[in-house]
Structure 1
Amino acid sequence: MSQGRSIRLFLVDGTPNGLLTAEIMNWTGHVLTGPRSKLAELVQRPECGRTGVYFLVGPDPENNLRSKVYIGESDDVAKRLKQHNRPEEQGGKDFWERVCLVTSKDQNLTKAHVKYLESLLIGIAKQLGRCELVNGTAHDYVALPESDQADMAFFLEQIRTVLPVLGFDFLRELTKPSAPASINAIAPVTRSPRFTLEVPRHRISAHGQEIDGEFFVLKGSKARAEWVGTERGYQGLFKQLVDEGVLVADGGDHMLFSDDCAFSSPSAAAAVVSGRSANGRTSWLVEGTGQTYAAWQDQQLNSVTSEPETA
């Protein structure tokens, strides 16, 4: 059974779209995040004068499923953010809309610590592929004592825990169905049974599985050769997966999934497989039973026993 964690969020100006701080119980780290429009207020915060790592996050115009991210470090984050706020032609960065800064409450993070963290964070973000990383090649920084490396491993784990809570998913582990169980996983992985989707008329057969709330279509599944639905909905997603090589021609009348592919919902997955809009809650069937995804989900809900009410 996984252990719960307590995260304390504070709305600095009382609004959900303003500055926000986050802390985890028994962690010396401190997170400050906010929109670029609040940068003048953010750089006046005491955290911005400390040593830390930061993330600049914005939309990727070429891929609406991902964000563009820049990962940096500094012993004077306010100064670095002011530089990044300049126009592109003056050495700044135009793409970002939000910033997230991670420092230490006890101010024990040193320049060596944050350079080491930056190196690890860039490597993780590049490996996971959940964002378009603006950084160039990550510099391997190993000039840190073994004991400090162990401390930074724990610090890194907390960063990867709190950032998704704040809406930054680019460091969240992507556990594919075909991947072996990781001994270094932050939390136990929850897996659904396997699902199938058949379109006999077009000889389409696909397999799927839900892992930690994400619905995957499994490698080797077949999809329709082209999008035949209306020019909206998931047509853009279909074309994007073709462009990225996730959907490849199988030499026949279908497209083939070259790797496990995560979708935001069963319906998004069903639409890409079918080449048109589809209700994934009824299209996907539990393998071996024929039970719909919706019925399976209802069964999970009904299996939860209610606690008796007390007077």
Structure 2
Amino acid sequence: MASPRTAKLFLMDGSPSGRIKCSLDNWVGKVFLIPRTEIARSRDREELAQTGVYLLFGADAESGEELLYVGQARERKNGKGVLGRVTEHLNDENLDYFTHAIMITDSDNALGPTEISYLENAFYQQAMRAGRVRVVNSQDPSPGNVTEEKEAELNEFISSAKILIGSLGYRVFDVVDDAKVATQKENDARPRVEPLLYLNSRGASGQGRQTTEGFVVLAGAKLREDMARSVPDLARKNRKNLQIGSVAAMS
């Protein structure tokens, strides 16, 4: 069971829709959520002139599919670091979808080329594995070459960063349903796992379970070809999206 943590979200513009600086107690990292429209205003932030990793979020204009790009940037002699790299992407036609950027740095600027390569690759791989969004990187980032001691340290850094990224509403690294068992012993301190529910009726079959994010239907489910008149409009729209292939299957 995860230990309680204290997350601090500082509204830099006094608004939840503006820039947000995030931190955790006893963690050297910093996470910034910057709307695309506010990137130019953030050039005076010293932390964003450092080495770091960034995530570009947005959606496909036609299908509405959520998109993610994962990148890294080193501190430069001209004083531009992770923010400078994100600023360059404003003129990239392949990334014109993004509306928000999340930038991850550390307070003592101790991240080097090897560390950010490992972080970039780890965030990329975890987003791909979770399958919640389409990752638009043209190639897999290199993981670099780190010692096992440094790997353990960086994995702790990643875990803390993911807490803050998730707190901002971006749960792109969390598998939709990662429960392996549906039973729980008495006095077990682990979070309760909801039981699997099954359906097999009138040509439809499948299984799923209730989660903290709603009811999850597992991959492999089969829909009825015809829909009842009582089916809600949202369900009809989702069926249409499935038919045109704009909804990704998740397991």
Which bin holds the TM-score, normalised by the shorter protein? 0.7 to 0.9
Q: 1:35 to 1:188 in 2, by over 3 A?
A: farther
Give structure 1 stretches of 5+ with no counterpart: 182-186, 248-257, 261-311
Q: Which residue of 2 aligns with 1:239?
A: 240
Aligned to 1:171, the other structure's residue is in SS state coil
Q: Superposed, which structure 2 residues align to 1:121-160 within 5 Å? A: 121-160=123-162
How much does 1:35 deviate? 0.9
> What CA distance in whole angstroms lies between the structure 2 residues aligned with 1:127 and 1:149?
19
How much does 1:207 deviate? 3.4
> What CA distance in whole angstroms lies between the structure 2 residues aligned with 1:234 and 1:142?
44
Deviations 1:21-66 (A, max 9, x none): 11111111101112111111123211210000001111123543x4
Q: Which residue of 1 aligns with 2:78?
A: none
Are 2:49 and 1:49 equivalent residues in the alignment?
A: yes
Amino acid at match of 1:81: V
> What CA distance in whole angstroms lies between the structure 2 residues aligned with 1:222 and 1:57?
31
Q: 1:259 to 1:46 in 2, by over 3 A?
A: closer
Are the equivalent residues in 2 in contact too, given 1:36–1:99 (CA < 8 A)? yes
Aligned with 1:85 (options 83, 90, 95): 90
Q: Which residue of 2 aligns with 1:224?
A: 224
Amino acid at match of 2:72: E
Q: Which residue of 1 aligns with 2:77?
A: none
Q: Which residue of 2 aligns with 1:74?
A: 73
> What CA distance in whole angstroms lies between the structure 1 residues aligned with 2:203 and 2:147?
59
> What CA distance in whole angstroms lies between the structure 2 residues aligned with 1:82 and 1:2?
36
Amino acid at match of 2:50: R
Give the alignment's TM-score, normalised by structure 1.
Answer: 0.68
**Among the aligned pairs, what percent are the same residue?**
27
What is the total number of aligned residue pairs between the two structures? 238
Q: 1:73 to 1:2 in 2, by over 3 A?
A: closer
Aligned to 2:98, the other structure's residue is in SS state coil
Q: 1:5 to 1:110 in 2, by over 3 A?
A: same
Q: Which residue of 2 aligns with 1:253?
A: none
Q: Superposed, which structure 2 residues align to 1:189-268 within 5 Å? A: 189-196=191-198, 202=202, 204-227=204-227, 229=229, 232-244=233-245, 260=251
> What CA distance in whole angstroms lies between the structure 1 residues aligned with 2:101 and 2:217?
33
CA-based RMSD of the aligned residues comes to 2.9
Are the equivalent residues in 2 in contact too, given 1:6–1:24 (CA < 8 A)? yes
> What CA distance in whole angstroms lies between the structure 1 residues aligned with 2:228 and 2:154?
50
> What CA distance in whole angstroms lies between the structure 2 residues aligned with 1:259 and 1:18?
32
Q: 1:204 to 1:70 in 2, by over 3 A?
A: closer
Amino acid at match of 2:233: R
